[in-house]
C-alpha cells in the first residue's frame, strides 16, 4: 500500500509487532484481586504468546478511572464502536500504513488472489474462550454462506460479484482466496474486517444449524421475534447485549438502552504497553444517554465529559475555548478527512419524470452549484475555519488535484441564471420562481438529518436562499435521523444531505463517488452495481465508467495504477457534480474534542475519519486518567 502523506500529523505511536518478550506482565489491581480470589487465571495465561505492544503517546499510564462520555442512544453505536474497533489488521494513526493486529503477519500470492493470515497464538475472547480459526470458519460457513443471515454478499468480500473462499489450515492459519486479483483487500479489511470476528461458542446457541428446531422456535417466540435470524442478529449485536463476547478492550456491562450505558475492562484483552502492563488502563466507560448533540456540547462546556470528540460542533468552538480553564479541559482540533461538511446529493433516482430529468441533467446541477456563496457560508456558519470548495477528496489524498476542489465552486449567480435559462427554465411566475417545462413551479426540497453532527440545517437554509435568488423555490426539511435514513432508500427525495467523509482514502470505500448505499442520492444505482446489474436501475454511461474504474482499481495491486484510476473517477465527478459541496477541510463534529487535564495519552493532533474508525486509530486502550 502506498503511504499517504499527511503532513499535519505527527507519528505519535510506534508499534512493536512481533517478538515481544517481558520478564513479567502486570495487570490492573481489580483484575489482580480476581486472580487472588480464584476467579481468573494469572495474567500471563490470559495473554497471547506475542501480545500486541503499544508504545504510549505521552508515557506509560496508570490503572483506574471511569471515563465519562455522552451518546444519543442505540442508533448512535458508532460512538462506542469507534473507541473499541478491532480487526485482523488495522490502520496506523495517520492512515499511512496497514499493520498487523489480531494477525501477526500475512502473505499474498504474486497474482493478488490468495491471502494467507497467521493469528497470534493464545488469543482469547472476553469470556476466556480461545479465539482460533474455528471462529472464522463458523463465520464463513454459518454466517457468510447462510442466505437468511447474508442475503447478498458484502461488496468488499467479492471480486466482480464472486465471493471470497476461506480455507482453514490450522488453528492459527487460514487462507482467503478470490476468483480475480484484489489489490485493495487487506487495506479494506482494516476498516470492515471486524465483521468476520464471530464467537462460535456463543453464536451457535442462536443458530439454526446448532439448535433443535423446537428449542429455537421457543427462544424466538420468547424474544417476540418471528424468525430465528432476527433473534440471532439481536443476540450478536456487539454493544447491545450483556454477555456477548468480544475481542475489544472493554465489554458491555449494561444494555445500550439504559440511561448509563457502561463498558468495563476486558480481562482477556491481548495488548500490553512497553513495560508489559496489560491494557486498557481505564477501568470502565460510562456513556450517558442524552436527547441530542446540543446537550452533549453543553455538558462538554460544563466540564461533565472527560474526553470526547464525537458530536462536538464548530459553532460551539469559541464557547469551548472560553470555558476551558473553568471546565478544567483542553480543546483539541484534529484533522478531519471531510471533503465537504454539507454534501448536497442531487437525487439520480427521483420518481417524478420532469423533476427527475432535471436532477439528472449535468448543467442543472452545475448551475445550482455556482449559485452558492461558499465564502459567506464559511464566514457565517463555520467562523472562517473551513475552506470553500467542491465535494472531492482532501489535498492530502493521493487522488487529489486542485481543479477537483474548484470545479463549479465559484460564486457566479449570473452564470447560474444563464445556464438555467439555456435549459429552457426561463419562464417565471409572478413570485419570480422559474417554471418547469410542464408549467409547474420549479421547486426543490432539501432533506437533512438535523441535530446530528453539525450545523447542517443552517448551511442548508443558506443554500436554499441562494437557490431562490436564481429562481428555484427551495425549502429545507430537518428530519429525525432514522426517518431520514428510511427516506433515502426510496425514490421520493430530491436533494439529500450528509457530509462527505472518507475523503483521504476513498478507494477503501468510495461511498460518495460510487453509489454503494442508500445515503448516496442514487440507491437504485447502488443496487445495480452491488448486484452486477441484476437489480436496481441502470446508471448513466458516466457513472458506469466510474464503476468500471473502481473495479479496475480494486483489482490491481499496483499503487500507481490504483491512483490513476482513482483520479479519473474524481475527474468525472468534478464535471458531473452529482454531489455539490459547500465548505470542507473544517473541524467537523468528529474533529473538535475536549480532553480533561487529568486525561492523558490523547494525541495533540490526529486524523479522524470513519474509514480509520477514529479515534480507534489512536489506540484508546492506552488513554489513562490521573487524580483530578
Kindly state whether residue 323 falls inside one of the protein's structural domains.
no
Q: Which residues are registered as beta bridge partners of 336?
A: 608
CB 430 within 8 A of CB 460: no
Kindly state whether residue 437 falls inside one of the protein's structural domains.
yes
Kindly state whether residue 219 falls inside one of the protein's structural domains.
yes
Task: For residue 527, give the CATH number of its domain.
Answer: 3.10.105.10
364 and 508 in a common domain:
yes
Q: Which residues contact 458 (CB under 8 A, 6 or more apart)?
A: 315, 380, 381
Tens digit of each residue's pLDDT (9 = 90 or more) over 25-34: 999 999 999 9
How many folded domains does the chain comprise?
Answer: 2
Q: What cell was used for 417?
A: 441564471
pLDDT of residue 130: 98
346 and 213 in a common domain:
no
Task: Report the SS3 class of residue 361.
Answer: coil
Mean pLDDT of the chain: 92
pLDDT of residue 19: 43
pLDDT of residue 518: 65
Q: Is the peptide bond before 280 cis (omega within 30 degrees of 0)?
A: yes
Q: Side by side, which strands form the sheet with 329-333?
A: 307-308, 592-596, 329-333
β-pairing, 607-608 with 335-336? parallel
Cell 450517558: give the residue: 288
Which residues of the chain, if any, have pLDDT below 50?
Answer: 1-19
Kindly state whether residue 45 falls inside one of the protein's structural domains.
no
Residue ending a domain, among 235, 252, 282, is 235
pLDDT of residue 252: 94
Domain of 211, in residue numbers: 205-235
List, as one string, the DSSP characters of 447-496. EEETTSSSSHHHHHHHHHHHHHHTT-EEEEEEE-HHHHHHHHTSS--SEE
φ, ψ of residue 170 to 5 degrees: the values are: -155, -165
In angstroms, how far is CA 24 from the centroid of its own chain? 37
pTM: 0.89
433 and 570 in a common domain:
yes
In angstroms, how far is CA 580 from the centroid of its own chain? 21
CA distance 549 to 573: 12
Burial of 350 (0-12, 13-18, 19+ CB in 10 A): buried
Tens digit of each residue's pLDDT (9 = 90 or more) over 218-255: 999 999 999 999 999 999 988 889 999 999 999 999 98
Burial of 325 (0-12, 13-18, 19+ CB in 10 A): exposed
Kindly state whether residue 419 falls inside one of the protein's structural domains.
yes
Question: Which runs of consecutive H residues, i.e. helices, occur in 131-195?
Answer: 133-138, 185-192
CA distance 234 to 241: 8
Q: What cell was used for 602?
A: 490523547
CB 491 within 8 A of CB 442: no
pLDDT of residue 7: 29
Q: Which residues contact 129 (CB under 8 A, 6 or more apart)?
A: 199, 201, 202, 245
Kindly state whether residue 104 falls inside one of the protein's structural domains.
no
CA distance 98 to 183: 13
Q: Which residues contact 170 (CB under 8 A, 6 or more apart)?
A: 133
Kindly state whether residue 54 falls inside one of the protein's structural domains.
no
Residue ending a domain, among 235, 252, 285, is 235
495 and 366 in a common domain:
yes
pLDDT of residue 17: 42
Kindly state whether residue 615 falls inside one of the protein's structural domains.
no
β-pairing, 335-336 with 599-600? unpaired
The dihedral over CA atoms of 47, 51, 56, 60, expressed in degrees to the nearest 10, equals: 40
CA angle 128, 14, 337 (to 5 degrees): 95
Q: Which residues are registered as beta bridge partners of 277?
A: 26
pLDDT of residue 613: 93
In this structure, what DSSP letter does residue 431 have? T
CA distance 269 to 237: 19
β-pairing, 103-108 with 114-119? antiparallel
pLDDT of residue 489: 85
Q: What cell was used for 27?
A: 495487570
Q: What Rg value do the Cα atoms of the chain yield, rounded?
A: 25
Amino acid at each position: 500500500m502506498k503511504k499517504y502523506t499527511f503532513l499535519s500529523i505527527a507519528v505519535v505511536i510506534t508499534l512493536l509487532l512481533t517478538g515481544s518478550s517481558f520478564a513479567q506482565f502486570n495487570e490492573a489491581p481489580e483484575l489482580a484481586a480476581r486472580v487472588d480470589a480464584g476467579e481468573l487465571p494469572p495474567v500471563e495465561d490470559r495473554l497471547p504468546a506475542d501480545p500486541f505492544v503499544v508504545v504510549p503517546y505521552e508515557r506509560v499510564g496508570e490503572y483506574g478511572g471511569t471515563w465519562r462520555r455522552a451518546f444519543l442512544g442505540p442508533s448512535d453505536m458508532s460512538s462506542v464502536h469507534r473507541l473499541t474497533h478491532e480487526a485482523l489488521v488495522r490502520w496506523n494513526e495517520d492512515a499511512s500504513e496497514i499493520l498487523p493486529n489480531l494477525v501477526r503477519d500475512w502473505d499474498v500470492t504474486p497474482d493478488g488472489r490468495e491471502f494467507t493470515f497467521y493469528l497470534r497464538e493464545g488469543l482469547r475472547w472476553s469470556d476466556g474462550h480461545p479465539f482460533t480459526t474455528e471462529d472464522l470458519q463458523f463465520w464463513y460457513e454459518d454466517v457468510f454462506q447462510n442466505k437468511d443471515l447474508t442475503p447478498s454478499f458484502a461488496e468488499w468480500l467479492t471480486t466482480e460479484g464472486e465471493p471470497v473462499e476461506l480455507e482453514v489450515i490450522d488453528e492459527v492459519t487460514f487462507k482467503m482466496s478470490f476468483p480475480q486479483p484484489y489489490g485493495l483487500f487487506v487495506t479494506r479489511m482494516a476498516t470492515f474486517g471486524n465483521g468476520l470476528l464471530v464467537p462460535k461458542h456463543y453464536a451457535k446457541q442462536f443458530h439454526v444449524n446448532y439448535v433443535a428446531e423446537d428449542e429455537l422456535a421457543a427462544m424466538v417466540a420468547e424474544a417476540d421475534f418471528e424468525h430465528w435470524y432476527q433473534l440471532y442478529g439481536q443476540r450478536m449485536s456487539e454493544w447491545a447485549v450483556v454477555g456477548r463476547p468480544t475481542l475489544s478492550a472493554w465489554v458491555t456491562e449494561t444494555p445500550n438502552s439504559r440511561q448509563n450505558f457502561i463498558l468495563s475492562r476486558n480481562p482477556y484483552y491481548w495488548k500490553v504497553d512497553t513495560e508489559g502492563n496489560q491494557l486498557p488502563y481505564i477501568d470502565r466507560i460510562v456513556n450517558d444517554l442524552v436527547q441530542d448533540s446540543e446537550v452533549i456540547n453543553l455538558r462538554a462546556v460544563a466540564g461533565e465529559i472527560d474526553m470526547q470528540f464525537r458530536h462536538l460542533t464548530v459553532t460551539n468552538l469559541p464557547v469551548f475555548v472560553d470555558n476551558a480553564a473553568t471546565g478544567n479541559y483542553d480543546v483539541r482540533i484534529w484533522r478531519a478527512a471531510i471533503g465537504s461538511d454539507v454534501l448536497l446529493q442531487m437525487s439520480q433516482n427521483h420518481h417524478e419524470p420532469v423533476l427527475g430529468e432535471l436532477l439528472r441533467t449535468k448543467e442543472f446541477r452545475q448551475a445550482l452549484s455556482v449559485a452558492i456563496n461558499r465564502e459567506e457560508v464559511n464566514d457565517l456558519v463555520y467562523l472562517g475555519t473551513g475552506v470553500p470548495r467542491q465535494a472531492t477528496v482532501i489535498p492530502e489524498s493521493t487522488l487529489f488535484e486542485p481543479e477537483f476542489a474548484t470545479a463549479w465552486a465559484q460564486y457566479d449567480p449570473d452564470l447560474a441564471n444563464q445556464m438555467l435559462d439555456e435549459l429552457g427554465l426561463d419562464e417565471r411566475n409572478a413570485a419570480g420562481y422559474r417554471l418547469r417545462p410542464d408549467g409547474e413551479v420549479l421547486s426543490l426540497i432539501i432533506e437533512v438529518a438535523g441535530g446530528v453532527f453539525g450545523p447542517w440545517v443552517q448551511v442548508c437554509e443558506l443554500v436554499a436562499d441562494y437557490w431562490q435568488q436564481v429562481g428555484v423555490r427551495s425549502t429545507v426539511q430537518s428530519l429525525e435521523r432514522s426517518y431520514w435514513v428510511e427516506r433515502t432508500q426510496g425514490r421520493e427525495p430530491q436533494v439529500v444531505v450528509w457530509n462527505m467523509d472518507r475523503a483521504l482514502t476513498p478507494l477503501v470505500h468510495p461511498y460518495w463517488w460510487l453509489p454503494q448505499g442508500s445515503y448516496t442520492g442514487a440507491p437504485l444505482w447502488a443496487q445495480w452495481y452491488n448486484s452486477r446489474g441484476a437489480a436496481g436501475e441502470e446508471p448513466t454511461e458516466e457513472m458506469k465508467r466510474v464503476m468500471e474504474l473502481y473495479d479496475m482499481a480494486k483489482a490491481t495491486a499496483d499503487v500507481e495504477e490504483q491512483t490513476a484510476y482513482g483520479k479519473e473517477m474524481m475527474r468525472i465527478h468534478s464535471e458531473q457534480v452529482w454531489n455539490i459541496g459547500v465548505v470542507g477541510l473544517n473541524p467537523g463534529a468528529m474533529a473538535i474534542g475536549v480532553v480533561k487535564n487529568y486525561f492523558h495519552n490523547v494525541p495533540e493532533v490526529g486524523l479522524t475519519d470513519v474509514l480509520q474508525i477514529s479515534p480507534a486509530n489512536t489506540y484508546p486502550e492506552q488513554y489513562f486518567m490521573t487524580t483530578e
